Amino acid sequence: MVMAKVFTIPIPPMLGRKRRERTSDPRYVDGQRLLVEAMRYLAQADPVANRGAIELLSEHVRTRFRMTDSPLG
In a domain, residue 52? The reply is yes
In a domain, residue 43? The reply is yes
Q: How far is it, in rounded angstroms, from Cα 56 to Cα 39?
A: 10
| Nearest partner of 52 among 42, 61, 44, 62, judged by Cα | 42
| Nearest partner of 36 among 16, 17, 64, 2, judged by Cα | 64
Q: What is the pLDDT of residues 27-47, one digit of tens each?
A: 877 888 898 899 999 999 999
Domains in the chain, number? 1
In a domain, residue 13? The reply is no
Which structural domain, as residue segments, surrounds residue 49? 26-61
Q: What is the pLDDT of residues 58-72, one digit of tens each?
A: 887 775 555 455 555
In a domain, residue 47? The reply is yes
In a domain, residue 31? The reply is yes
Contact 54, 39 (CB under 8 A): yes
Q: What is the value of pTM for the model shown?
A: 0.53
pLDDT band per the 50, 70, 90 thresholds, residue 49: very high
Contact 30, 23 (CB under 8 A): no
